[in-house]
Amino acid sequence: MPLLFNDGRPVPESLLALTFTELRHHFGAASWETQTLRGEWQYEGVVYQDNLARFFVDVPDRPEHREYFRQFKETLKARFQQLDIWITSHPIDVI
């Protein structure tokens, strides 16, 4: 999740907390990695700098979960005023 809006203003902690709570309530559990991830990307000639936090939910790969995240992505793009939000999926094996 972005810690800064694209114009450089800080994202209020309340928006991050709301997002985390929504994930936890929907899936029953979630994790929030507070280490700041830094990155840069370019769009239409403008270079954007990102400071990010990462949220995790471990769920089975089911069509309904993928659809939830497709819809939630649009909510997040509006909430955080972003051109895009990356939501990634990775297989996991719990031992």
Judge whether 39 lies within some domain. yes
pLDDT score recorded for residue 13: 97
Average pLDDT, the chain: 95
Judge whether 90 lies within some domain. no
Judge whether 59 lies within some domain. yes
CA distances from residue 45 to 5, 9, 41, 48, 50 in whole angstroms, order as listed: 18, 20, 10, 10, 16
Mean pLDDT of 50-76: 96
Judge whether 94 lies within some domain. no
Mean pLDDT of 11-19: 98
**Domain count along the chain:** 1
* pTM, 2 dp: 0.89
pLDDT score recorded for residue 93: 87
Judge whether 38 lies within some domain. yes
Judge whether 71 lies within some domain. yes
Judge whether 18 lies within some domain. yes
Domain residues for the domain of 37 are 13-79
Judge whether 3 lies within some domain. no
Q: Phi and psi dihedrals of 14, rounded to 5? A: -60, -35
pLDDT band at 64 (very low <50, low <70, confident <90, very high): very high
**What percentage of the chain carries pLDDT values higher than 70?**
100
Mean pLDDT of 20-26: 98
